[in-house]
Structure formats: C-alpha cells, structure tokens
Structure 1
Amino acid sequence: MDLQLLPLAITMMAGPQIMSAIILVTHRQAVRMSLAYLAGVTVAMIVGVALTRHVVALLSESISLGDPADTGSLGSVVQLVLVGLLMAMAVKNFRTRATSEAPAWLSTLLEAGPGRAFVVGLLLILLMPTDIVTMTTVSVHLEQTGSPPAAAIPFMLATLALAALPLLGYLLFRRRAETVMPKIRDWMNSRGWLINICACLLFIVLILT
C-alpha cells in the first residue's frame, strides 16, 4: 500500500463533491440518495485512476518519467505543470468571487432520484479539473515508483471515506444532523469559490512537499 497518496484524497472531495454529499443527506431519502452518490464516486475513481494510469504508462514507454526524488525528472516536471494549472484556477476563482454562485444543479439534487445522484457522483469525479489533476498525479507517482495499480486502493478508500462522512454523521447523529446539515449546506453554497481556492492551494502544497 502506498500511504503517501492518502492526503490527495482530501482534494478529491473538496468543492462541489463534498457539497453534493452534504446536500444529499438533507434529501427526504437521505440514505438511499447518499448510497447512490457513493456508488457513482466509487465507479468514477476506479475508471479515472485506470484511465490516467494507462495514459501515463503509455507516455513512460517512450519517455522516462525518471525518479520521483529527482526534481528534474519528467514526472516532476509534469507535476509542476499541474501545480501551475491549479494556481491559475485558484486565481480565477478569487478574481470572480464577487459574481460566483453555486452551480444551479446543486439545488436540484433535493428533488432528484437515486439515478441522478449516481450520475452526479460519477461525473463530478471524472470531469472535475482538480480530480483529474489529482488522479493524474497519483498515476505519475505509481509509474515513477513502479507500484502496481493496487497501490492506489488506499487512496481510493480514503476518498470514499471522506465522501461518506456526511452520511455517517447523519446516521450517527440523525436529529442533530437534520438541524446542522442544512446550515452547512447553505454556508458552503455561498462560499463555493473559497472552498475551490482552498482545494487548489492544498493540492499544491501536497504536490510540492
């Protein structure tokens, strides 16, 4: 198991990903909707890591990614490019913070069914830029260290555990959660830009360290 990848799980769920999980526990069918969402997240992670791992493996066949300890290696350069992209995303989120609004589809989750929750979980992981960058970073690390695909399992389990936190809180503290979760949902909806910036900065720190 490669435990170095575990901190990257935090960036996988920061932003609309965890916001969706929180919204779903305020749904009238909280458990059913949340389980469907977690299923979508699980499938997306398996597919996403497999695809990025395949692409990175193909790249390494023609160009060596080098040793992860070598800051001049291609793998390290790729990670630095990803850092640059994340910095640009953070700056964009900050500059547009005054007009930033939560995606309209977030509010529609309260009226959605399990099928929609599954699709949201699937697409948020597969199409979210920060998640694509994260999974690519995981794949680059696995390729550089010569680790098998199974080495990504702890990372995926950690991501799934974070995605399940709202549901676990709901199941353990149902009465209190029914009061607190809507407040957290509204707070996060109004500060999505800040959450996105924090996610980008956290990921940058994790890559550089």
Structure 2
Amino acid sequence: MDLQVLPLAVTMMAGPQIMASILLVTHRNAVRVSLAYLAGVVIATIVGVTLARLLAALVAGSISLGDPTDTGSAGVIIQLVLVGLLILVAIRNYLKRDTSEAPAWLGTLLEAGPGRAFVTGLLLILLMPTDLMAMLTVGVNLDQNKSPLGAAIPFVLATLLLAALPLLSYLLFRRRATEVMPQIRDWMSSHGWLINIFVCVLFVVLIVT
C-alpha cells in the first residue's frame, strides 16, 4: 500500500466521527463509553477495508485495474470518479452552509451506554459516504500494488489514533480537557459544513497526487 493513502485516515474521522469522540469524553462515564466507541470504529474500519479489498479483487478479476502509475488505468479512472463525486459533495456543503446543523443524535450520546457507543462507532464508519470512499480507495490501492490485506494495518492504526485523540487528551489533561472539549464540540457543530468541505478537498488532493 502506498503511504500516500495513509492520510486518508484524517478523512475517516473528520466530521460527526470526531465530534462523537469529543462528545463522549464529556460523558459521566467517559472512559467506558469512549473505549466502546473506539472498539466500534476499529472493527468497522477493519471490516470496511477488508470488504473494499475483496471488492477491488473481484473487479480486477473481470477488469484489470492496471498500474497505479498509468493515468489511463481502470483503477485511476475509478479514483477520478471518486474525485468528481467529492467535488459535488463539497459544492453541496457550501451551498447549504447557512442551514447546516449538527446531527440531532449527537446530543443524545451524553446519555448513551457502552453498547450504544459501540454501535455508533460501527455505523459512523460503515455508513458515512466519505469513509466508504476512503476505504474503497485503500482497497483499490492494495489491489493495484498487489499488497496483502495486512499492508492496511498502518491505515487502521492511524484511524484509531485519530479517533482516540479526545480520550487521550482527557486522560492526560483531564481538567483542561473537560473545559476545552465542549468548546471544540460547539465550534465543530456550527462549522460542520466547513469541516466537510475540508475533508473533500483533502481527499481530492490525496487522490490526484
């Protein structure tokens, strides 16, 4: 797997994913629910990358994805289609910026138990369009480079580390973190459209470079 796809881990957690992680460290049982959430995130990422790798292999069985350096290869064309979709998503987020609001379910996480936190981690990764695109890109990259599934471990670990940053901050700087995290959460809630555009632009840059 090319190291250039490693930063895709940033797109995996930007948006509601990291907002949920930040929100959970303000929970009365912050450590328990955060660990459950992280478990959901890492399992979903492993499952998603595995399925993406299998899908890429199935496609390659009938249509060669080609060499990643060949700009006319099917693999590169697939990535360019993803770029086009991301550009459309970015434009849509910009046009709807004035009416953009944080998902209502985020606020209910403060009353969530470990089970719900775990399911939230699973679903946020497996159902989020940008995450699906990121994992599909990793799967295509693995197939093009003839890399084993284990080559995606750095990507999975990077995603887990980003998801765990709020919890790590809470454990290391508990008092300060409990003061700052709500402020970060509120800013992200009111600027979700900007975060989504940033994710799309980052994704596009990573793919085209």
Q: When the two structures are superposed, what TM-score results if normalisation uses the length of structure 2?
A: 0.98
Q: Determine the C-alpha separation between the residues in 1 that align with 2:147 and 2:8.
A: 17
> What is the CA-CA distance between 1:2 and the residue it aligns to?
4.7
Q: Is the 8 A contact 1:2 1:151 kept in 2?
A: no
Query: Hey, what does 2:114 align to over in structure 1?
Result: 114
CA RMSD of aligned residues (A): 0.9
Q: Determine the C-alpha separation between the residues in 2 that align with 1:180 and 1:53.
A: 39
Query: Hey, what does 1:20 align to over in structure 2?
Result: 20
Question: 3-state SS of the aligned residue for 2:109?
Answer: helix
Question: 3-state SS of the aligned residue for 1:141?
Answer: helix
Mark the runs of 5 or more structure 1 residues left unpaired by the alignment. none
1:36 paired to 2:36? yes
Amino acid paired to 1:170? Y
Alignment length, in residue pairs? 209
Mark the runs of 5 or more structure 2 residues left unpaired by the alignment. none
Q: Determine the C-alpha separation between the residues in 2 that align with 1:137 and 1:178.
A: 36
Query: Hey, what does 1:191 align to over in structure 2?
Result: 191
1:1-80 to 2 correspondences below 5 Å: 2-80=2-80
Identity %: 72
Given the superposition, is the C-alpha separation of residues 81 and 2 from structure 1 closer, same or farther in structure 2, using an over 3 Å criterion?
A: closer
Amino acid paired to 1:70? D
Q: Is the 8 A contact 1:41 1:122 kept in 2?
A: yes
Q: Determine the C-alpha separation between the residues in 2 that align with 1:77 and 1:5.
A: 16
Deviations 1:124-173 (A, max 9, x none): 00000000000000010010010000000000000000000000000000
> What is the CA-CA distance between 1:3 and the residue it aligns to?
2.9
Query: Hey, what does 1:200 align to over in structure 2?
Result: 200
Query: Hey, what does 2:175 align to over in structure 1?
Result: 175
Amino acid paired to 1:60? A
Q: Determine the C-alpha separation between the residues in 1 that align with 2:200 and 2:16.
A: 13
